[in-house]
Amino acid sequence: MKQPIGIFDAGIGSYAIVERVQQRFPQQDIVYLADRASFPYGDKSAEALLTSVTKATRYLQQQGCGAVILASNAPSVMVLEQLCTLVEIPVVGIFPPVLEALRISRSGRMAVLGVKSMVASEAMQRYVAHYADDVLLVNASSMVDLVENFTFLKDVARTRECVARFVHELLAAHPDVDVMTLSSTHLPWLRPFFETAAPHITFLDPADSVLEQIEPHTTAGTGAIRCIASETSALPLSEFNAALAQLGVEWRAAVCTIVE
């Protein structure tokens, strides 16, 4: 590989970012890391998050990556600034598109959907305060779980029911919301379910800005993708590879162990 871009988060959510980078930069070599041994990011403290993402970034640097995409909203919001001081390669994060959501909202009321640790963090409060005083932050960890445990592939009917219930309860409590940001890289996998449940709501994918940020670090190679994944007894590699197969992905992950 020729100076690949590393792309990672704690599971299958970041595969969507791999696809986006591949489509935009077809000659870019990519190392895709699913750090399932660190799942879920959403339950970790800022200190634990920083430890996990620092290990993963350094591991990708050891694999020859010239830059890394931290394809997870929670650590991007909470610890990206610190992470960049601890590693020797550029790291691009992914952030909730609050400004875009407010721009297109007709009611002036939007919601950020994300994992518990992110929406409850002081860092997220500071982030949204730059744009507005009244941004609704919503814990959508239960929706993230539908993706990471592959329910959205194995049981479409249950996924449809869970998403519909989540959206309807949210809108019952906050009927003026008309834009929602899918601010976990897992959530865009559920976008068709969200749009079916609430066709009058605009759902935004925060991945769009990542492509612009990573472009200066791209290098023409052969367009190869190498997939690696850490695992636990509860989250085995075989299950991850089965999900890739169900998504129609031709390649499979090799197991890795991330250490200091």
Question: Could you tell me if residue 59 is inside a domain?
Answer: yes
Query: Is the pLDDT confidence value at 187 over 80?
Result: yes
Question: Could you tell me if residue 26 is inside a domain?
Answer: yes
- Same structural domain for residues 119 and 200? yes
- Same structural domain for residues 142 and 84? no
Task: Provide the domain limits for residue 76.
Answer: 5-94+209-255
Edge-to-edge strands, sheet with 67-70: 91-92, 67-70, 5-9, 30-35, 225-230, 254-255
- Same structural domain for residues 160 and 250? no
Query: Is the pLDDT confidence value at 93 over 90?
Result: yes
Please say which residue of 182, 206, 230 terminates a domain. Answer: 206
pLDDT, tens digit (0-9, with 9 covering 90-100), for 113-164: 998 888 998 989 999 988 888 899 999 999 999 998 899 999 999 999 999 9
- Same structural domain for residues 90 and 214? yes
Confidence of residue 259 (pLDDT cuts 50, 70, 90): low
- Same structural domain for residues 44 and 61? yes
- Same structural domain for residues 88 and 154? no
- Same structural domain for residues 80 and 164? no
Question: Could you tell me if residue 71 is inside a domain?
Answer: yes
- Same structural domain for residues 17 and 87? yes
- Same structural domain for residues 90 and 216? yes
pLDDT at 131: 86
- Same structural domain for residues 131 and 182? yes
Question: Could you tell me if residue 168 is inside a domain?
Answer: yes
- Same structural domain for residues 83 and 157? no
Distances (CA, A) of 84 to 58, 175, 202, 258: 11, 39, 33, 19
DSSP 170-233: HHHH-TT--EEEE-STTGGGGHHHHHHH-TTSEEE-TTHHHHHHHGGG--B----EEEEEE--S
- Same structural domain for residues 113 and 73? no
pLDDT at 247: 87
Edge-to-edge strands, sheet with 136-139: 136-139, 110-114, 179-182, 202-204
* Number of structural domains in the chain: 2
Residue linked to tokens 């634990």: 48
CATH assignment of the domain containing 127: 3.40.50.1860
CA 260 to chain centre: 23
Question: Could you tell me if residue 260 is inside a domain?
Answer: no
Question: Could you tell me if residue 104 is inside a domain?
Answer: yes
